[in-house]
Structure 1
Amino acid sequence: MWNRQELKSNARIMLKANYLKIVIVSVVFALLTSSGYQSAKGAAKGSDADISLSHLTDIQWSLVMAAFVGIMGVVIIAFLVNVLIAVFVWNPLSVGCIKYFIDCRYGNAEWKDILFVFRNNYVNVCVNIFLKQLFTFLWCLLLIVPGIVKAYEYMMVPYILAENPDMSREEVLH
């Protein structure tokens, strides 16, 4: 059985051997997945103007409501596009990064490992990661504590899929 000192020394050796590659992969993935944060943060800032709608006529009120419905439509479409990009691009890329890190541990990591999901059972990985996120969200709707428990239960799903992309949903999530 390994002790803590052996595990730490082995981890240090592997990290020193692959440090630059691991940092590059991590930074590029972080930049790719967080690119929309700054634009969303800027768009969320409101103005400090005091707006009163009590003086609007019926026609003006209907124009305001039409603009509101249009803006809500754009927001809903943007949300759906964001979800689709996350499911079909970012989630498989995150599993690919995990695969790359696992391969770094064994000393045979290649840059193409980041995109391995797109070559190996892409649909299965997308479905399993989406279901993991959906089930965690639904458990959080019940109460916060069951959501936290399920989040911990499903935490290793991307790692399992990185090593075994052909596993079924029942094997991965249970």
Structure 2
Amino acid sequence: MDRAALKKMAKGQLKGNWGWAVCLTLVSAVILGVLNGWPAFFMDSGDNSINNVAVVLDVFGGILGGLITAGIAYTYLKFVDRKEKANVFSGVFAGFTKGRFIPTFLTTFLTALFAALWTLLLIIPGIIKYYSYAMAPYILKDLLDAGKEPAPTEAISKSKELMNGHKWELFVLELSFIGWYLLGFVTLGIGLLWVVPYYNAVHADYYRALAGDQFKN
């Protein structure tokens, strides 16, 4: 896979659409920040009941965060495929609509669970499994768009097959963004509003180049 070509393609797709992409990143970042930060207000209060509330909120926030992350993947895949820009809020919550909630929830939950279990064994196997499962959200969207009712682990299994022999390739592709992310952090996070859309578009283009339309038909 030609990394330079993928990045050039993503830049071309984002040209003239940066405003939409930045807004999508900003809205999702604010929502995810609230979901991740809210439980901290209840932590270490000394009251067990309040601490239990914090744990529940943390789990709930993790689930919603996973659904939002999957929705962003759906939105970018639709964007690179059809050049269609979803409404920002519709894009952020794409995992909740059009009958996607249950399959998105199950796939997201099981992906996180399997990766966590592998990580408990050793860090390296956990990282390998992360790359094995990396295409699951995109595959799930293709399956759902094709009118199928995928089993809870179907997108995960198909991602493992698709990524066979490509995990290192994707790792190197993601590694090539380190400089951009460092630049984003140096600008107090403001630069990330442009780096994250760039990364998401490249990731979606990588999936489509690798998978083609095999899961849509």
2:94 matched residue in structure 1: 116
CA contact (8 A) 1:160 1:172 kept: yes
Preserved contact between residue 99 and residue 163 of structure 1 (Cα < 8 Å): no
Given that 2:119 and 2:125 are in contact with CA atoms closer than 8 Å, whether structure 1 keeps it comes out as yes
Q: Comparing both chains, which one has the higher relative contact order based on Cα–Cα distances under 8 Å and sequence gaps of 6 or more?
A: 2
Report if the CA contact (8 A) 1:33-1:90 is conserved. yes
Structure 2 matches for 1:18-167, cutoff 5 A? 18-35=17-34, 68=46, 71-87=47-63, 89-105=64-80, 106-111=82-87, 112-118=90-96, 119-165=98-144, 166-167=149-150
Structure 1, unmatched stretches of 5+, are: 47-66
* Unmatched runs of 5 consecutive residues or more in structure 2: 158-217
Q: Name which one, 1 or 2, has greater alpha-carbon Rg.
A: 1
Task: Map 1:12-23 to 2 at 5 A.
Answer: 12-23=11-22
Kept in 1: contact 2:24–2:91 (CA 8 A) = no
Residues 151 and 10 from structure 1, CA distance in 2 versus in 1: closer, same or farther, beyond 3 angstroms?
closer
Q: What is the TM-score with the length of structure 2 in the denominator?
A: 0.57
Residue 55 (structure 1) aligns with: none
> Does the 8 A contact of 1:99 with 1:159 survive in 2?
yes
TM-score normalised over the length of structure 1: 0.70
Cα 1:43–1:82 change in 2 (3 A) is closer
Q: After the TM superposition, which parts of structure 1 deviate over 6 Å for at least 4 consecutive aligned residues?
A: 39-44
For residues 122 and 4 of structure 1, the distance between their equivalents in structure 2, rounded to whole angstroms, comes to: 33
RMSD over aligned CA atoms reads 2.8
Q: Percent of pairs identical after alignment?
A: 24
Name the amino acid aligned to 1:19. Answer: W
Distance 2:31 2:118 in 1: 29
Q: Secondary structure at the match of 1:128?
A: helix
